[in-house]
Structure 1
């Protein structure tokens, strides 16, 4: 998908398929000229039920299982985890995908690497286009059967999603086009806008969403699959933290913490469906044992602690291990780095709940040096089924750590910052920290963010960048040498530069 495509339409009939069935099954934009039997916006946005179905296609695009790994279903933790210091690339083969993973791990991404194009840029702007289509469809509808409440819900959720995608694209690429329409005449020659300008639009969309969305989850049948106003507040808190607007960040985080709808849970329960800690989750597809795409990179198919006793010999017998591990079934493609493993304090319950190990034979050449992998988003039972889980987008723990960091940065309420920090530590089974200096508290917050949010939505990569710690942290890693600060941004797709002369490539590419 390019942002200058000739036609954006997800609402049309083909043959005898009803429009609503097509919408329900659609997982990505269909970019074709409108056929003669098109069902237009005047039909789709005629009633509440039909209009909500259109909105659901936006969330389907985000989780997007039919199109592989993408921005909102696992690409962020995998590829930013490799670019930072969370994961290593363990697989070794001559296939193109493995070569592209190697480039992310070494932070030397070439212009022929299609992952930035397909998994981030294309998917991000596809979702933005779909959100814009919903906003435009609501605005164009004069149907009295499309109620005011549904109009508010659709506008609020679509603006929140649009803000969410723009935020991540700006943090991946730097200056980017701001896309607020599906009109080709406006999008085909858009230029890059400063990150500060992107953030202004993100803030505007989120403030609108906060006013339009309800305070509960009634619109989603009391599931967490559709965001409410507190998700908008949470994203505003994150935005203000990135902008170093610390008073506003603390205020917005406090709104979420104090509304009484959420609570911190034991680590083992955090990522369950409708978890009270989660603000927003994406619903897994209902077919089979679907799990986020990141599982294919982080979690081996066979896990020692979850296989029958008869299968454990595969991990202890050197010959059997050598044979079966080459299939990729027993060793994660991207295990955790030793630095991340060492970051957990003794007794941290998050390490026990969110990670596991692949034991290896004690005989040479393995010598008992196993692999540790993360499995926050997937739990395999002995019968091969998945425990109840959903793909968590935002959760309460982030609000406590945002407020702690914002208070520490201001230096006026170090006791309050410490109290928020200790909420997260106590939930993980760790003792309180004493109130220290501003610098000590900021270091403690960074440590908690590292072990709390590893493998989630690129937090570690973006934290290193926004705090100015990326270069000093990553340039000492052997595989990332020689280091260049150009590595901190991804390259824009070459096809975009060819078709739109208003776009310029990032330095170093």
Structure 2
């Protein structure tokens, strides 16, 4: 199996444990102390795998913050269980507040991952490993740290920026949010250093690790997000050695992981008891579909990330990607149930709840569309920009576009990104990048009006709340979790959530 062996559980067990009594210092023999660890390449690789393990955990719920809160998806409403109304459902209905538990958990996960990356980088600085051994490990850690901050700065705006561990707990109470500009600067620094340190490829046994291409692709996206179009084009053109899969579906087929189009994907492994499986097929299947979708009876699918009517209508006639990405109904006991669902990550598997699907983070199609967008912002819809856009459309079975207007081309690229990258956690950041906060609020209010007028999924007679689908421009950022502000009163809350 081509994958990273993730040792997250092992990494979390690293600790210092000692006690002192009557001048006698003893060490718990069941634990590995940090003074004994971080001594050789194997141990540093294990620590690095621990950070990859947290990436897995972060990705498991990322759809809530990057896809679910957009016009792409909604939920299979459960009128008998309103337990999620204050948590994950709030992202669909725009009722998120600072007490939302999903945001609190997400914040903690990201900063745990950042801490682990920082700690391992510090230990590497004092190690005796040779430079050639250190470089790819440090490069991967910096790539991952940049990736985490790339999300955080877009989720929250100003965030706590830490690149080293604290010397004592009291220092945590002095942490404040750093300006976005400083966070972006650190992300660029980490990725630039990662590009210099990372190899272009790895041996087959290490496929899935961050490469030079992954660092360049993410750096190009960072520049694009900041509207640094010249830097974006220059950087993205260096992402070489990749190509589009002939078949769109091959990007999601577990039997064809880490293929020619894959620049970076989060690794999962099902079919065993190693604890590295993915469960997206179950999370995204309609609530009552059971074996009709997952293939296994006696399961309780999540009914989350349900494609909206608007998303279904976004595909052009003849677009080969539609049938790979979603279905508009399922059949249960001979009855057709008109609830759509995502099928990109639904493939046969051998053990209930343990799927083998990786999660795509960066694909070459994404790079092509980013280059088209950046060139258009610089020079309008040039032949080169149109060429990148039409490469992606050709694979989808669609005719070439011939657009001469800059604004129309921008709209076409955003539309192409929507259907090409559907349900892969790109939509929220794409909308934020291409709209002002006021424009985004207007756009999402219109989306809400559509859902209220014609819900994608029947609500079982439950009326919408008056606050559902009411968006304000301040919601371009999420609230800082209330527990963090209670712990550290030097942290400020984002405007609009006080």
Q: Distance in 1 between matches of 2:217 and 2:364?
A: 9
Query: What TM-score do you get using the length of structure 2 for normalisation?
Result: 0.83
Matches within 5 A, 1:123-138: 123-138=109-124
Shift of 1:453: 1.5
- Give the equivalent residue in structure 2 for 1:192: 177
Contact 1:262 1:277 in 2 (8 A): yes
- Give the equivalent residue in structure 1 for 2:215: 232
The number of equivalent residue pairs is: 451
Q: Distance in 2 between matches of 1:149 and 1:189?
A: 37
| Pair 1:487 & 2:475 matched | yes
Contact 2:279 2:355 in 1 (8 A): no
Pick from 467, 470, 485 the counterpart of residue 434 of structure 2: 467
- Give the equivalent residue in structure 1 for 2:96: 109
- Give the equivalent residue in structure 2 for 1:122: 108
- Give the equivalent residue in structure 1 for 2:456: none
- Give the equivalent residue in structure 2 for 1:97: 84
The structure-2 alpha-carbon separation of the partners of 1:28 and 1:61, relative to structure 1 and needing over 3 Å to count, comes to: farther
- Give the equivalent residue in structure 1 for 2:39: 46
The structure-2 alpha-carbon separation of the partners of 1:28 and 1:190, relative to structure 1 and needing over 3 Å to count, comes to: farther
The structure-2 alpha-carbon separation of the partners of 1:268 and 1:303, relative to structure 1 and needing over 3 Å to count, comes to: farther
The structure-2 alpha-carbon separation of the partners of 1:227 and 1:191, relative to structure 1 and needing over 3 Å to count, comes to: same
Residue by residue, what CA displacement relative to the aligned partner does 1:63-99 show, whole Å, maximum 9, x if unpaired? 13xxxxxx322x2223432321111122324353344
Pick from 362, 366, 374 the counterpart of residue 406 of structure 1: 374
Shift of 1:173: 1.0
The structure-2 alpha-carbon separation of the partners of 1:187 and 1:263, relative to structure 1 and needing over 3 Å to count, comes to: farther
Query: What TM-score do you get using the length of structure 1 for normalisation?
Result: 0.81
SS in 2 for 1:393: strand
Contact 2:63 2:305 in 1 (8 A): no
The structure-2 alpha-carbon separation of the partners of 1:423 and 1:198, relative to structure 1 and needing over 3 Å to count, comes to: same
| Pair 1:77 & 2:63 matched | yes
The structure-2 alpha-carbon separation of the partners of 1:381 and 1:501, relative to structure 1 and needing over 3 Å to count, comes to: closer
| Pair 1:354 & 2:325 matched | yes
Matches within 5 A, 1:339-418: 339-359=310-330, 370-380=338-348, 389-411=357-379, 414-418=382-386
SS in 2 for 1:433: coil
Q: Distance in 2 between matches of 1:47 and 1:342?
A: 55
Q: Distance in 2 between matches of 1:500 and 1:165?
A: 22
Shift of 1:381: 5.4
Shift of 1:489: 1.6
Q: Distance in 2 between matches of 1:273 and 1:203?
A: 28
The structure-2 alpha-carbon separation of the partners of 1:429 and 1:388, relative to structure 1 and needing over 3 Å to count, comes to: farther
Contact 1:264 1:397 in 2 (8 A): no
- Give the equivalent residue in structure 2 for 1:280: 264
Contact 2:14 2:34 in 1 (8 A): no
Aligned Cα root-mean-square deviation (Å):
2.9
Matches within 5 A, 1:294-313: 294-300=280-286, 302=290, 304=292
The structure-2 alpha-carbon separation of the partners of 1:262 and 1:48, relative to structure 1 and needing over 3 Å to count, comes to: farther
Shift of 1:336: 0.7
Q: Distance in 2 between matches of 1:27 and 1:445?
A: 44
Shift of 1:382: 9.1
Shift of 1:274: 1.9
Query: Which one has the bigger helix percentage?
Result: 1
